[in-house]
Structure 1
Amino acid sequence: MVVTPENILFISSVLLILSIVASKTAGKAGIPILLLFLGIGILAGSEGLGGIYFDDPNLTQFLGITALTYILFSGGLDTKWESIKPVLGPGLTLSTLGVLLTALSVGLFVHAISSFSLLEGLLMGAIVSSTDAAAVFGILRAKSIGLKGNLRPMLELESGSNDPMAYFLTIGLTSILAIDNFTFSDLIPVFFMQMAIGGAGGYLLGRAIVLTINRINLEYEGLYPVFMLGLVAMLYAVIDFAGGNGFLGVYVAALAIGNGKMVHKKSLIKFFDGVAWLMQIVMFITLGLLVFPSQVLPVIGLGALVSLFLIFVARPLGVFISLAFFKYKIRDKLFISWVGLRGAVPIVFATFPLIAGIEKSNIIFNIVFFIVLTSVALQATTLSLMAKWLSLAVPDGLKRRSLLDLELSEDFKNALVEVDLPEDSEIDGKKIWELDFPKTSLIVLINRNEKFITPNGLTELKGGDKLLIMMNTESEENKVKATLGV
């Protein structure tokens, strides 16, 4: 096929649409969406039905880092500080000590059973040491299963914060193998510098972004998501240039932004949720295209041994040691161990030694790909069963939707308008029935200090209230705002 812009657009759109349509069926069947996206990429590749030849690890790495940046940002943006605060200790311990223990144990095992040197084994361990909880919650939502206690926020925190540690270990070990006279002792100051700059820089830049969004007052509301897209990319780049860990910086900044008071926050969260899905699809399909199944087949034996060791020994070992000083029951630790899915991130990290020209890097890449496939196929498909077997599952059938999320037909003539009352509002203390409201206008919801009130005529309005008002016409909107003094 001749490479033209039209052909590229056509093939890209077909793969994207096929992935989205197929994910609906896969979700209902309990098939991990990650596995589906990777499968579509493999089928479209040079050794699949599509016959698309793709062998560019540099482009794959760039797309992977870009995708991971926005995925982490979206995850942090929608994470409430109140939910992760109680699990901050165990979550961060898992994402640091747990990752380190997993990398060490896998590295020693690979070195013991194969011709890999100790450093090469540790590099493989570092690459597969981080988890992908996004796939976990996709399966749990598909099966309408929740988790008891604080397991869910703790797993969310771990998944969002363990990639920086795995990234650091991967880059560090790749540097030791590729650069002469570079040793483990050189990594220690780099580690503390990266984490300190990443964490502090992410928080400060996150707060600065909140102030910027609140004060910039763009002419068109649709520009806010576009502006934020640019800010996120700049955020990663600035922290990386400063010597910090860009992934950690992006996640911490997203937490600061998501838990701050910011205009258009709900619409931005929705927008970045869509961006994160797009990035996941692009990343998984690209990784699927990069893999040559014929090169994976020769390493299936070693890959299976490493995968089983990772699932049944390394991950549980890391979890039980990391959580030894926290009050978690055995069944909680067993489930957390089983949740240690390996997603697309290890495959992206496996491109670093590939690009650096490390000996056996191609074998490492193919083994990592096989480990990801087996991890997702075995663990993701049995998550709901494991949660039920350990008596940790609770019904999660209630789907909460914001009133503004309702899809209204084109024939719907009313409008839902959000109005913010000033802190020094003239109607502070007045009851709703005392206001000169049009008869066809109705205050349907009040947001007061993040608590929602269903109002009636006797409800008193307070300065700072956010009102959701249903009304008929634009002229009516002007009268309502005049009545409210806004």
Structure 2
Amino acid sequence: MSFDVHDLDAFILVGSVVTFLAILAVRMSTRAGLPSLLVYLLMGVALGESGAGIQFENYEVAHAVGFGALAVILAEGGLTTSWREMRPSIRLGVSLATLGVAVSVTVVALAGHYLLGMPWELAVLLGAVTSPTDAAAVFSVLRVVPLPKRLTGSLEAESGLNDAPTVVLVTLISTGAAAEHGVPAMVGIIAYELAIGVALGFAAGFGGAWVMRRAALPSSGLYPLAVMTLAFLAYGGATFVHGSGFAAVYVGALVLGNSELPHRAATRSFAEGLAWLAQIGLFVTLGLLLSPGRITLSTVGLAVVAGLVLTFVARPLSVLASSVAQPMPWRELSFVSWAGLRGAVPIVLTTIPLAEGVTDATRLFDLVFVMVVIYTLLTGPTLPAVARLLKVARRSEPRGLEVEAAPLERIAADLLQVFIAPTSRMHGVEVGELRLPRGASVSMVIRDGQTLVPERRTVLRHGDDLLVVTPRKLRWQTEERLRQVSERGRLAQWLVEKPPRRPPS
């Protein structure tokens, strides 16, 4: 196989133009309330055989790109998810990712066989690939919808964990191992891979955090690289021993993102940028696989019916069954049911049967592609209105406070850089009213590009950057106190008399 440098030049040119246009499209999709995946998918279709004429039918490459991109997206989701916000609703999230997936697969498979006339193998594959929610869609859409933390926590936990069992299930069915070993053995394999993935994720997260706290790296830019490398170490280690790499990378990133590591804000920003790049590459690649000429009225009709069953039957039943683990008011459960956003994950999962040569896998890919586009257009833009209709929206959430830490090794202290966002109630609070733990202090305020040394009566404003010095042993209490004031304003001094105890590590 010869390599032509002109092909590389053309690839760089086209890739740069597509990536830049995709970045610009983020603003348009965000303002419309749509996950960006729709724009990227359509860009891929426009570049494909029916548009610019690019021929791409390599399902193995698409499979590899899809899994790599999903690992990056899950790592970013874990790094940017607050464990304190997720913990109260973790039982519902785990139940949705396991029991909820099983219920959804069963309902959709029955409908696919008896209602749509599919053979059992294809019907079960349809249920398996469409049951998991999409982490990229959930993380991007729900973070701009003001919801109680227990709702966002459960939905983020579900989207971060439900990829793992469905990947195993789709692989077992596509390779014929499910029919060979039977249902009990299949359930055992899924449980084993999940357990191994979660265990190695915890090991990589806690072990990596221990090393990172003691490694004084010479450049701040190395910390984000090191953290992402640790997350992928969890993924690679889990897959090497036949565990779930997706469960490992999400759990490992979740532990790292909630550990006391230097330059956390920079790490999260770096991970967010990588996740956007992964989404662009993933969705454009999937769009290239679609041939619009294969889409018929029959395919659209089947996609509409399958989507109706998934959205209005399978999803509500799976949420209802999962609520046994953690009951919630019916309004919140109804919103969780509507917010089961499907995105790239179902399309990526269809590349597994395509790569394995399953009969009618191309038909399944086309059906799932059309279904994802239709129902993402239906559910994504309507989430804010549904939240208001069900009265689960909260205007006061989230509060804006960004904290980045840098180590001061010689004096066993940390320097916190705190940004007061436009939504923070810290605006108008005096420095003395912060009531930081003894030994912590605000050493400098940066306002409109000017620096000033604050006094107790200095009033803080939106857009200020604060430099807070705190002993390392008091860092968690100091950050928690700053967040309390950001959420409650001056009332925090009366509502919280003592700084909370640090949770056990």
Q: Give TM-score, length-normalised by structure 1.
A: 0.82
Matches within 5 A, 1:312-323: 312-323=312-323
1:289 aligns with 2:288: yes
Task: Please give the per-residue CA displacement for 1:1-27, whole angstroms capped at 9, x wherever unaligned.
Answer: 996111101111111111111221222
Task: Please give the per-residue CA displacement for 1:30-72, whole angstroms capped at 9, x wherever unaligned.
Answer: 3332211111111121112x22221111111111111111111
1:243 aligns with 2:256: no
SS at match of 2:192: helix
Aligned-pair distance for 1:188?
Answer: 3.0
Match of 1:267 in 2: 266
Query: Structure 1 residues 354, 316: CA separation in 2 closer, same or farther (over 3 Å shift)?
Result: same
Query: Structure 1 residues 444, 23: CA separation in 2 closer, same or farther (over 3 Å shift)?
Result: closer
Match of 1:18 in 2: 21
Matches within 5 A, 1:100-139: 100-139=102-141
Instruction: Please point out which of 63, 73, 76 is paired with 1:74.
Output: 76
CA distance, structure 1, for counterparts of residue 65 and residue 172 of structure 2:
21
CA distance, structure 2, for counterparts of residue 327 and residue 281 of structure 1:
37
Aligned-pair distance for 1:317?
Answer: 0.9
Aligned-pair distance for 1:259?
Answer: 1.9
Aligned-pair distance for 1:223?
Answer: 2.7
CA distance, structure 1, for counterparts of residue 78 and residue 413 of structure 2:
33
Matches within 5 A, 1:144-159: 145-148=145-148, 150-159=150-159
CA distance, structure 1, for counterparts of residue 438 and residue 333 of structure 2:
51
CA distance, structure 2, for counterparts of residue 313 and residue 115 of structure 1:
18
Moved more, 258-267 or 14-23: 258-267
Instruction: Please point out which of 463, 468, 489 is paired with 1:445.
Output: 468
Moved more, 326-335 or 211-220: 211-220
CA distance, structure 2, for counterparts of residue 300 and residue 446 of structure 1:
60
Moved more, 211-220 or 313-322: 211-220
Query: Structure 1 residues 294, 3: CA separation in 2 closer, same or farther (over 3 Å shift)?
Result: farther
Instruction: Work out whether residues 195 and 248 of structure 1, in 8 Å CA contact, stay in contact via their aligned partners in 2.
Output: yes
Query: Structure 1 residues 58, 394: CA separation in 2 closer, same or farther (over 3 Å shift)?
Result: same
Which structure's relative contact order is higher, taking Cα pairs within 8 Å and 6+ residues apart?
1
Query: Structure 1 residues 374, 187: CA separation in 2 closer, same or farther (over 3 Å shift)?
Result: same
Point out where structure 1 has 5 or more consecutive residues left out of the alignment: 405-415, 434-438, 455-486
Query: Structure 1 residues 120, 376: CA separation in 2 closer, same or farther (over 3 Å shift)?
Result: same
SS at match of 2:146: strand
Give the percent of matched residue pairs that are identical in Structure 1 and Structure 2: 32
Query: Structure 1 residues 187, 325: CA separation in 2 closer, same or farther (over 3 Å shift)?
Result: closer
1:9 aligns with 2:12: yes
Query: Structure 1 residues 140, 284: CA separation in 2 closer, same or farther (over 3 Å shift)?
Result: same
One-letter code aligned to 1:445? V
SS at match of 1:327: coil
Instruction: Work out whether residues 204 and 231 of structure 2, in 8 Å CA contact, stay in contact via their aligned partners in 1.
Output: no
SS at match of 1:254: helix
Match of 1:57 in 2: 59
Query: Structure 1 residues 121, 220: CA separation in 2 closer, same or farther (over 3 Å shift)?
Result: same
Query: Structure 1 residues 149, 201: CA separation in 2 closer, same or farther (over 3 Å shift)?
Result: closer
CA distance, structure 2, for counterparts of residue 430 and residue 23 of structure 1:
43
Aligned-pair distance for 1:153?
Answer: 1.1
Instruction: Work out whether residues 136 and 380 of structure 1, in 8 Å CA contact, stay in contact via their aligned partners in 2.
Output: no
CA distance, structure 1, for counterparts of residue 411 and residue 338 of structure 2:
50
Match of 2:38 in 1: 35
CA distance, structure 2, for counterparts of residue 62 and residue 92 of structure 1:
27
Moved more, 378-387 or 186-195: 186-195
CA distance, structure 2, for counterparts of residue 365 and residue 37 of structure 1:
17
Pick the structure with greater CA Rg: 1
Query: Structure 1 residues 218, 449: CA separation in 2 closer, same or farther (over 3 Å shift)?
Result: closer
Task: Please give the per-residue CA displacement for 1:66-92, whole angstroms capped at 9, x wherever unaligned.
Answer: 111111111111222221111121111
One-letter code aligned to 1:353? P
Aligned-pair distance for 1:421?
Answer: 7.1
Task: Please give the per-residue CA displacement for 1:422-446, whole angstroms capped at 9, x wherever unaligned.
Answer: 3599xx977989xxxxx97668424
CA distance, structure 1, for counterparts of residue 267 and residue 188 of structure 2:
37
Q: Which runs of 4+ in 1 moved over 4 A?
A: 396-399, 416-421, 428-433, 439-444
One-letter code aligned to 2:161? S
Match of 2:230 in 1: 231
Matches within 5 A, 1:414-429: 419=408, 422-423=411-412
Query: Structure 1 residues 402, 420: CA separation in 2 closer, same or farther (over 3 Å shift)?
Result: farther
Aligned-pair distance for 1:221?
Answer: 2.9
Instruction: Work out whether residues 61 and 351 of structure 1, in 8 Å CA contact, stay in contact via their aligned partners in 2.
Output: yes
Instruction: Work out whether residues 200 and 237 of structure 2, in 8 Å CA contact, stay in contact via their aligned partners in 1.
Output: no
Instruction: Work out whether residues 69 and 278 of structure 2, in 8 Å CA contact, stay in contact via their aligned partners in 1.
Output: yes
Instruction: Work out whether residues 204 and 230 of structure 2, in 8 Å CA contact, stay in contact via their aligned partners in 1.
Output: no
Query: Structure 1 residues 444, 32: CA separation in 2 closer, same or farther (over 3 Å shift)?
Result: closer
What RMSD in Å do the two structures reach over aligned CA positions? 3.0
Task: Please give the per-residue CA displacement for 1:111-156, whole angstroms capped at 9, x wherever unaligned.
Answer: 00233222321111001110025424534555xx311361111111
CA distance, structure 2, for counterparts of residue 211 and residue 140 of structure 1:
32
Match of 1:332 in 2: 332
Task: Please give the per-residue CA displacement for 1:160-207, whole angstroms capped at 9, x wherever unaligned.
Answer: 111112112211222327x87343333233122211111111101111
One-letter code aligned to 1:210? A
Aligned residue pairs: how many? Answer: 434
One-letter code aligned to 1:24? R
Match of 1:473 in 2: none
Match of 1:353 in 2: 353
Point out where structure 2 has 5 or more consecutive residues left out of the alignment: 415-436, 443-450, 455-465, 483-505
Moved more, 106-115 or 257-266: 257-266
SS at match of 2:387: helix
Instruction: Work out whether residues 133 and 339 of structure 1, in 8 Å CA contact, stay in contact via their aligned partners in 2.
Output: no
Aligned-pair distance for 1:342?
Answer: 0.8
SS at match of 2:180: coil
CA distance, structure 2, for counterparts of residue 272 and residue 22 of structure 1:
20
Task: Please give the per-residue CA displacement for 1:343-382, whole angstroms capped at 9, x wherever unaligned.
Answer: 1011111000111111111111111111111120111121
Matches within 5 A, 1:144-293: 145-148=145-148, 150-176=150-176, 181-293=180-292
CA distance, structure 1, for counterparts of residue 441 and residue 34 of structure 2:
51
Instruction: Work out whether residues 136 and 383 of structure 1, in 8 Å CA contact, stay in contact via their aligned partners in 2.
Output: no
Moved more, 24-33 or 366-375: 24-33
